[in-house]
Chains A and B, each alone.
Chain A
Amino acid sequence: MSQHLQNFETNSKYILKTEDVIKTYMSGEIEVIALNKINISIKKGEFTAIAGPSGSGKSTLLNLLSGLDKPSSGTVFINELPISDMSGNQLSDFRRDHIGFIFQSYNLIPVLTVRENIEYIMLIQGIPEAERTERVNDVLKDVGLTTMGNRRPAQLSGGQQQRVAIARAVVSRPAIILADEPTANLDSVTANNLIDMMKSLNETKGITFLFSTHDQRIMDHSKRLIILKDGVIDSDK
């Protein structure tokens, strides 16, 4: 990988930063401003929730921060480097190596077993088999699914699937894990367990989390809470 990504771990005051980011969508003839001049930075080790009503721009922000989408204007910085300077393959590689994802609807690969789903990113990273196996075993233990390794996603409950998704996100040791409403499809007990698990990973392994949520209890758990309203930051504490 290129130089800037190696520097990534060492000299970062922040992992992700946005500068006057605006994102607009065309909805027929009408221009929808999903995000309006957003300036935030996410530091290493943070455990941050983004909250706000439906349509306030939470998903849009997460997509811009991960490089999955490009802002209409303004700049997203990954470490010191603007995303707009990266090529398609560089962005792919960047996500693979530095960002973990947890999606609302789990989005595991249905044809792969739990183990293989977790292994996938390490495989495209080219990590040797022995190390892959070891890391998968460790992370399965962390999320409490040691016995489920050979099942297919369809054979798991929603909560279990989301735990696999967490395992998949942490196993490649990304700099940050982005999660868009990870608990929205889960009942409150399961959701609480999941948040506890993420928090403990944050505290014990120093993994940085940034997630969007509707859930008041999750907001209460987070160390930092950013509230979006109509595409602007309403509060950040």
Chain B
Amino acid sequence: MLILKIAFRNIFRQRRRSTFTILTMVGGFVLFSLALSISEGTYGTVIEKFTKSYTGHLQIHKKGYLDKPSLYKSLDDYDSLSREIEKIPGVKSWTPRVYSGALASKDKKTGMVRIIGINPDSEAKTTSVKNKIKSGEFLKISSDLTNDVLVGAGLAETLKLKLGDELVLVGQGADGSISNDLFKVRGILKGDVYSKDRNYCYMDLKMAQKFLSLDKNFQEISITVDDYKNADLAAKILNANLIKSNITDLEVLPWPQVEKQFYNTMVFEKRGMRICLIVIVIIVAIGVLNTVLMTILERTTEYGVLRALGTRPMTLFWMIVLESAGLAIISIIIGFILSLILNYWVSIHGIDYPSPIDIGGFTITTMYGLVYVGAFTGPAIVTFFTALFVSVAPAFRAMKISPVEAMRMN
């Protein structure tokens, strides 16, 4: 169609102006894409770090446990649950846990502790608890009962604990009995008196079950899958499978529901990013609008001639919109290639923040990009429709030009 040809040739006619427009759009595309890439990459990193540090991607509890934790809301059949978990597509690892509060004392000093019974083997595969040890060693994998514990930095500080020190824990068992036992510090966790895990006290799952008279019971299974984004889906599948197997008193929750506060922080941070993106879009839109307007003013006579020769107003309208769309498509292609390279580079090398920033309790020093489809389709769609949108008003104007007036102008 000649209309297309005219539209296309008009792009090459004003090389400088078209180049300028294309640069604006390409710049917008690349910035937009990079912002998305870094946003996803950074939040992805934070979320991975966070979930990996302890929560996992999804968790199984007795219904209502998270709202009101209790020693009695426990799970019992680890093996059959494991068989269900195995069926989740993309599942990587899982680990059982026991929780309870207790009183710790050494010499004349006492403090509250949170006992966490873990399986050293599966815990190490599922989360990064093992990497949190500042001094000493992680719990030994053994089939025997050991009284080794890992203590939080706060607890170590209050009780003046050193590696190898002994401490007494006093707790209440599931059967109502008061239990006490002597434990030995095998490792001290990183952090300080403000850390979330300052008064944690990790011990072997079997030891915790015995100390709390829990028998084979435990409160939680934490699961990781291949990608945190699949947590929701995995939770749905597992929930459905449990119901199929007639297990109705358990619930599987993905990390956003387990860690609501953290999740909300992430959502909030992303929203901030969105404002940034809107600003980019507006800048690009103004740039494009400017060119399209200049183009139309300059070609008023020409449009008048086309109208005089019998071109329908709508045809003229499309000619102008198509020209803009053509510029957008060229820009999208260039923008895509540049973004792909840039995002890839940033995903490998990262960009250092001028000063470390804190997101959701994690200190981030370097931002990494994430190369994903949305970082290109998003900017492509926005660029294209912005160009179309911006050209509509000028095209409409051109369509309304009176041929006589237009031709008088020259």
Interface residues of A (CB under 8 A from B): 63, 66, 68-69, 88-89, 92-97, 99, 101, 103, 105, 107, 109-112, 116, 119-121, 123-124, 168
Contact of A89 among B6, B301, B305, B312 (CB under 8 A): B312
CB distance from B18 to the nearest CB of A (A): 12
12 pairs, CB–CB < 8 Å, chain A vs chain B: A66-B308, A68-B404, A69-B402, A92-B313, A95-B309, A95-B310, A97-B310, A101-B308, A111-B9, A116-B2, A123-B2, A124-B312
Is B245 an interface residue when CB atoms closer than 8 A count as contact?
A: no
Q: List the A residue with the shortest CB-CB distance to B313.
A: A88
Is B407 an interface residue when CB atoms closer than 8 A count as contact?
A: yes
Is B290 an interface residue when CB atoms closer than 8 A count as contact?
A: no
Contact between B9 and A121 (Cβ–Cβ < 8 Å)?
no
Contacts of B410 in A (CB 8 A): 105
Contact between B310 and A121 (Cβ–Cβ < 8 Å)?
yes
Contact between B2 and A92 (Cβ–Cβ < 8 Å)?
no
Contact between B6 and A103 (Cβ–Cβ < 8 Å)?
no
Q: Given A109-B302, A110-B302, A116-B2, check contact A69 B307 (CB 8 Å).
A: no
User: In whole angstroms, how far apart are the Cα atoms of A74 and B311 in the complex?
Assistant: 26
Contact of B305 among A66, A88, A109, A119 (CB under 8 A): A109
User: In whole angstroms, how far apart are the Cα atoms of A69 and B10 in the complex?
Assistant: 28
Contacts of A101 in B (CB 8 A): 308-309
Contact between A109 and B6 (Cβ–Cβ < 8 Å)?
yes
User: In whole angstroms, how far apart are the Cα atoms of A69 and B410 in the complex?
Assistant: 17
Of listed A66, A111, A120, residue having the most chain B CB within 10 A: A111
Contacts of B315 in A (CB 8 A): 124
Contact between A120 and B302 (Cβ–Cβ < 8 Å)?
no
- Which A-B residue pairs are the 8 nearest by beta carbons? A96-B310, A111-B9, A95-B310, A107-B305, A123-B2, A92-B312, A69-B404, A68-B403
Contact between B404 and A120 (Cβ–Cβ < 8 Å)?
no
Is B132 an interface residue when CB atoms closer than 8 A count as contact?
A: no
Beyond A66-B308, A94-B310, A101-B308: 11 further Cβ-contacts under 8 Å?
A: A88-B313, A89-B313, A92-B310, A95-B310, A97-B310, A109-B306, A110-B13, A110-B302, A120-B309, A124-B315, A168-B309
Q: Given A63-B404, A66-B308, A68-B308, check contact A111 B313 (CB 8 Å).
A: no
User: In whole angstroms, how far apart are the Cα atoms of A82 and B313 in the complex?
Assistant: 21
CB distance from A9 to the nearest CB of B (A): 17
User: In whole angstroms, how far apart are the Cα atoms of A36 and B251 in the complex?
Assistant: 90
Is B5 an interface residue when CB atoms closer than 8 A count as contact?
A: yes
User: In whole angstroms, how far apart are the Cα atoms of A213 and B383 in the complex?
Assistant: 51
Contacts of A120 in B (CB 8 A): 2, 309
User: In whole angstroms, how far apart are the Cα atoms of A93 and B311 in the complex?
Assistant: 8
User: In whole angstroms, how far apart are the Cα atoms of A89 and B311 in the complex?
Assistant: 9
Number of cross-chain contacts by CB at 8 Å: 65
Interface residues of B (CB under 8 A from A): 1-2, 5-6, 9-10, 13, 301-302, 305-313, 315, 402-404, 407, 410
User: In whole angstroms, how far apart are the Cα atoms of A109 and B305 in the complex?
Assistant: 8
CB distance from B406 to the nearest CB of A (A): 10
Q: List the A residue with the shortest CB-CB distance to B2.
A: A123
CB distance from A81 to the nearest CB of B (A): 17
Contacts of B309 in A (CB 8 A): 95-96, 101, 120-121, 168
Grouping DSSP codes into helix (H, G, I), strand (E, B) and loop, the B interface class, with mixed when no group exceeds half, is: helix
Contact between B10 and A107 (Cβ–Cβ < 8 Å)?
no
CB distance from A213 to the nearest CB of B (A): 18
Contacts of B10 in A (CB 8 A): 111
User: In whole angstroms, how far apart are the Cα atoms of A66 and B306 in the complex?
Assistant: 14
User: In whole angstroms, how far apart are the Cα atoms of A63 and B308 in the complex?
Assistant: 10
CB distance from B193 to the nearest CB of A (A): 74
Contact of A107 among B5, B13, B313, B407 (CB under 8 A): B407
Contact of A124 among B9, B308, B311 (CB under 8 A): B311
Contact between B307 and A103 (Cβ–Cβ < 8 Å)?
no
CB distance from B371 to the nearest CB of A (A): 39
User: In whole angstroms, how far apart are the Cα atoms of A111 and B305 in the complex?
Assistant: 13
Contact of B310 among A105, A111, A124 (CB under 8 A): A124
User: In whole angstroms, how far apart are the Cα atoms of A120 and B1 in the complex?
Assistant: 10
Contacts of A68 in B (CB 8 A): 308, 402-404
Contacts of A69 in B (CB 8 A): 402, 404
User: In whole angstroms, how far apart are the Cα atoms of A196 and B10 in the complex?
Assistant: 35
Q: List the B residue with the shortest CB-CB distance to A178.
A: B308
Contact between A92 and B301 (Cβ–Cβ < 8 Å)?
no
User: In whole angstroms, how far apart are the Cα atoms of A66 and B9 in the complex?
Assistant: 29
Q: List the B residue with the shortest CB-CB distance to A94.
A: B310
Of listed B9, B301, B308, B404, residue having the most chain A CB within 10 A: B308
Contacts of A103 in B (CB 8 A): 305, 407
Q: List the B residue with the shortest CB-CB distance to A63.
A: B404
CB distance from B393 to the nearest CB of A (A): 19
User: In whole angstroms, how far apart are the Cα atoms of A168 and B306 in the complex?
Assistant: 12
Contacts of B312 in A (CB 8 A): 89, 92-93, 124
Contact between A116 and B310 (Cβ–Cβ < 8 Å)?
no
CB distance from A1 to the nearest CB of B (A): 12
User: In whole angstroms, how far apart are the Cα atoms of A94 and B309 in the complex?
Assistant: 10
User: In whole angstroms, how far apart are the Cα atoms of A157 and B303 in the complex?
Assistant: 23
Q: Given A69-B404, A112-B6, A119-B2, check contact A92 B311 (CB 8 Å).
A: yes
Q: List the B residue with the shortest CB-CB distance to A106.
A: B305
Contacts of B6 in A (CB 8 A): 109, 111-112
Q: List the A residue with the shortest CB-CB distance to B306.
A: A109
Contact between A107 and B301 (Cβ–Cβ < 8 Å)?
yes
Contacts of B311 in A (CB 8 A): 92, 96, 124
User: In whole angstroms, how far apart are the Cα atoms of A157 and B23 in the complex?
Assistant: 36
